[in-house]
């Protein structure tokens, strides 16, 4: 989604802005631009395309030490140079970049046009610069505050005025904005990755807060002119974590990081003595945990599928009724919130608008909502009633991989805690702990042995439609595998419960629609084998992800991707990693943009 960088300091602003925007590329965008102020004038360069295209047209003599930059992910108006940010008012004294959506922009635009304003873009954002101009009486922050009272929607804004060319004013409502504090330099950004190379000292703005920066000062205010004393926080990530570290693609790096990232999610959270787990962030007493009658998990995309694994574990092992809902559907269905239900929102970024708004609606209705997030300091962990960080480290590739395996890790530990408080025996708890702790090593085995998998991916890369089929705990993994494949290879793929295909999808089976079956050696294995035979009987090609030692499978299917044997509840981990690799190799073979697939954004901050 859109990204913002702002800079005030001694350095050449254009370089800081371009570098910051480059680091925001992973969020997904289709055009970019910067504006730099120099000796009382503004110079703006913007265009559709990538940051490297923008860099080509930024003049080397673009001097100036204050500026704002933007990556745009189109919502209102096509992808054109004109619609790229920054945007000016008529007098070209005010310039701004905007993340979010202004829902009432058409009404405002109509009025402004009637008053004689001329618009140069089709964006909702441009109305803001014109509005600020109409309200400006010598103080930009005052004009901006008055402006935001007229806006309906979400915004993260960075604005400059020619009268004070070394100052940037930022405001946040619904779109993230962070202030970076350096030595005689200040930064604004929608995401800390943009400024991590310069400073680790940050202040996260909350909704309805304004920040004013110059090179050597910053002030934060609420919307009622009250100055705020906000806490400076330290970013826990290092620069090398947001770089490729020798890999060609972030996705490849992140898939390979999973043995360590899963370990980070486990460490300090399992208790061998008690055969249980520990999640401090829940902020709940054992008595409160024992009183939970229902668990509802709310999330989007890959996080939703991780939530499905969680709900399955919680219900089948901890014996607590649990369900998963799409966050985009929760807010508007007037959800029934009950006091003995515990709500979890799951989000890698902690900024997904659908999930954030669902959380707020559940909280408004009195629900206790805990977050399971990756990005420290992001909005969901700050606004939730407690929660757990998954500690995956930065996930840069648009396609989520290591976040999924760490999110499910938190659910395994949660299940262990709640199950041990209820029906799970000490011995079974201990088996679960050791099963979980053995996962990183088993994933290492899969990663070390992916040559054959690559050949299979290449062999099947000519097919245009796939079915991903799994059952039980691995049904959600099938859905996640299909999502990975369509996201980065643009191949059409659908995930189903393998039992469900006879109710419809089997009509799609022919020699041109391969099926990828997940075949763990658990209680449902034989039923999955029956489903495979139904597909083979209709001339469907079948790839199986199966457990080493399953001698029967090879004779039934066309190709096998082997995984190590494990505790029967651990197969979601061992099944999903081959599916991530399958999608990755397929996308490589098809020459796709693996890390930034078309039309997608890493952090979806609009509804
Ligand atoms: O940051 P979140 O976990 O809230 O993001 C949710 C989805 O937007 C995200 O998982 C999306 O589906 C990914 N592109 C999946 O690879």
- Which DSSP symbol is given to 207? T
User: How many whole angstroms from 400 Cα to the centroid of ligand 1?
Assistant: 6
Return d(Cα 586, Cα 456) in angstroms, integer: 9
- Count of Cβ atoms closer than 10 Å to residue 86 Cβ: 26
* Predicted pLDDT at 251: 96
With cut-offs at 50, 70 and 90, classify the pLDDT of residue 376.
confident
H/E stretch holding 369 reads: strand 368-373
In which residue are the tokens 């930065």 written?
394
Mutate to test the pocket of ligand 1, among 26, 193, 302, 493 (most ligand atoms within 8 A of CB): 302
Which residue, judged by its Cα, is nearest atom 8 of ligand 1?
301
CA distances from 181 to 9, 175, 232 (A): 11, 20, 9
Return d(Cα 579, Cα 408) in angstroms, integer: 16
Which residue, judged by its Cα, is nearest atom 9 of ligand 1?
301
* Predicted pLDDT at 417: 97
Ligand 1 atom closest to residue 380's alpha carbon, by position in its atom list: 4
Candidate list 93, 253, 442, 602, residue with the active-site label? 602
Domain spans in the chain, listed from the N-terminal domain onward: 3-241, 244-444, 449-593
Candidate list 2, 8, 35, 373, residue with the active-site label? 2
**pTM, to two decimals:** 0.84
Mutate to test the pocket of ligand 1, among 73, 297, 301, 579 (most ligand atoms within 8 A of CB): 301
* Predicted pLDDT at 129: 97
Architecture (CATH level 2) of domain 3-241: 4-Layer Sandwich (3.60)
Mean pLDDT of 186-199: 94
Sort residue 499 into left (φ over 0), alpha (ψ -120 to 50) or beta.
alpha
Instruction: Say if domain 449-593 classifies as CATH 3.40.980.10.
Output: no
Segment 501-535, tens digit of pLDDT: 999 999 999 999 999 999 999 999 999 999 999 99
Ligand 1 shell residues, CB under 6 Å:
300-303, 347-349, 352, 355, 398-400, 487, 600, 603-604
Q: Which CATH class is domain 244-444?
A: alpha beta
Return d(Cα 447, Cα 237) in angstroms, integer: 25
Return d(Cα 45, Cα 18) in angstroms, integer: 11
Please report the DSSP string for 9-32 in residue order. SSS-HHHHHHHHHHHHGGG--SEE
| Mean pLDDT for all residues in the chain | 95
Ligand 1 atom closest to residue 603's alpha carbon, by position in its atom list: 1
Which residue, judged by its Cα, is nearest atom 4 of ligand 1?
347
Q: In this structure, are residues 199 and 206 in contact, taking their beta carbons and an 8 Å threshold?
A: no
Residue 240 has pLDDT above 80, yes or no: no
Tokens of 538: 């209709």
Is there a shared CATH topology between the 244-444 domain and the 449-593 domain? yes
Return d(Cα 513, Cα 189) in angstroms, integer: 45
CA angle 563, 564, 565 (to 5 degrees): 120
* Predicted pLDDT at 603: 81
User: How many whole angstroms from 600 Cα to the centroid of ligand 1?
Assistant: 10
In which residue are the tokens 């992916």 written?
450
Task: Answer yes or no: 46 catalytic.
Answer: no
Segment 400-451, tens digit of pLDDT: 999 999 999 999 999 999 999 999 999 999 999 999 999 999 999 999 999 9
**247 exposure class (CB count in 10 Å sphere: 0-12, 13-18, 19+):** middle
Task: Answer yes or no: 2 catalytic.
Answer: yes
With cut-offs at 50, 70 and 90, classify the pLDDT of residue 244.
confident
With cut-offs at 50, 70 and 90, classify the pLDDT of residue 386.
very high
User: How many whole angstroms from 301 Cα to the centroid of ligand 1?
Assistant: 5
Segment 549-603, tens digit of pLDDT: 999 999 999 999 999 999 999 999 999 999 999 999 999 999 999 999 998 888 8
CA distances from 253 to 74, 333, 530 (A): 28, 39, 37
Ligand 1 atom closest to residue 602's alpha carbon, by position in its atom list: 14
């Amino acid at each position: 989604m859109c990204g913002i960088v702002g800079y005030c300091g001694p350095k050449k602003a254009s370089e800081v802005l371009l570098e910051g925007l480059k680091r925001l590329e992973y969020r997904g965008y289709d055009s970019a631009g910067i504006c730099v102020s120099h000796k009382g004038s503004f110079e703006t360069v913007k265009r559709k395309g990538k940051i490297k295209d923008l860099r080509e047209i930024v003049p080397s003599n673009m001097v100036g030490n204050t500026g704002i930059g933007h990556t745009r992910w189109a919502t209102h108006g096509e992808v054109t140079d004109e619609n790229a940010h920054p945007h000016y008012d008529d007098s070209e004294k005010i310039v701004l970049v905007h993340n979010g959506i202004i829902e009432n922009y058409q009404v405002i635009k109509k009025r402004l046009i009637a008053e004689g304003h001329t618009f140069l873009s089709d964006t909702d954002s441009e109305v803001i610069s014109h509005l600020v101009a109409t309200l400006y009486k010598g103080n930009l922050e005052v004009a901006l505050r008055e402006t935001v009272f007229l806006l309906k929607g979400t915004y993260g804004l960075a604005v400059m005025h020619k009268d004070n060319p070394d100052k940037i004013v930022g405001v946040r409502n619904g779109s993230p904005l962070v202030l970076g504090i350096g030595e005689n330099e200040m930064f604004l950004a929608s995401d800390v990755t943009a400024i991590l190379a310069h400073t680790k000292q940050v202040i996260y703005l909350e909704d309805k807060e304004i920040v004013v920066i110059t090179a050597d000062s910053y002030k934060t205010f609420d919307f009622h002119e009250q100055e705020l004393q906000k806490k400076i926080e330290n970013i826990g990530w290092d620069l090398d974590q947001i770089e490729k570290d020798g890999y060609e693609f972030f996705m490849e790096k992140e898939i390979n990081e999973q043995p360590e990232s899963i370990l980070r999610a486990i460490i300090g959270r399992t208790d061998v003595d008690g055969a249980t787990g520990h999640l401090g962030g829940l902020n709940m007493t054992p008595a409160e945990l024992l009183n939970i009658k229902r668990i509802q998990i709310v999330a989007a995309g890959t996080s939703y599928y991780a939530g499905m694994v969680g709900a399955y574990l919680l219900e089948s092992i901890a014996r607590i009724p649990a369900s998963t809902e799409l966050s985009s559907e929760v807010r508007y269905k007037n959800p029934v919130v009950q006091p003995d239900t515990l709500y979890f929102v799951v989000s890698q970024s902690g900024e997904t608008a659908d999930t954030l708004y669902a959380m707020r609606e559940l909280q408004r209705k009195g629900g206790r909502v805990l977050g399971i997030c990756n990005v420290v300091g992001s909005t969901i962990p700050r606004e939730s009633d407690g929660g757990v960080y998954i500690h995956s480290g930065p996930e840069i590739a648009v396609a989520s991989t290591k976040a999924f395996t760490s999110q499910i890790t938190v659910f395994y530990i949660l299940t262990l805690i709640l199950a041990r408080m209820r029906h799970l025996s000490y011995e079974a708890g201990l088996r679960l702990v050791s099963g979980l702790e053995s996962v990183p090593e088993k994933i290492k085995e899969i990663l070390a042995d992916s040559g054959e998998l690559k050949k299979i991916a290449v062999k099947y890369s000519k097919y245009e439609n796939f079915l991903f089929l799994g059952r039980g705990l691995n049904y959600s993994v099938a859905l996640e595998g299909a999502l990975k494949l369509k996201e980065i290879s643009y191949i059409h793929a659908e995930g189903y419960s393998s039992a469900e295909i006879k109710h419809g999808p089997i009509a799609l089976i022919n020699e041109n629609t391969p099926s990828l079956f997940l075949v763990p050696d658990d209680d449902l294995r034989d039923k999955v084998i029956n489903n495979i035979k139904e597909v083979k009987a209709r001339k469907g090609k079948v790839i199986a992800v199966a457990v080493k030692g399953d001698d029967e499978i090879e004779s039934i299917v066309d190709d096998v991707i082997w995984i190590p044997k494990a505790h029967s509840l651990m197969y979601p981990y061992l099944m999903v990693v081959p599916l991530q690799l399958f999608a990755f190799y397929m996308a490589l073979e098809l020459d796709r943009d693996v890390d930034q697939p078309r039309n997608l954004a890493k952090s979806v901050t609009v509804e």
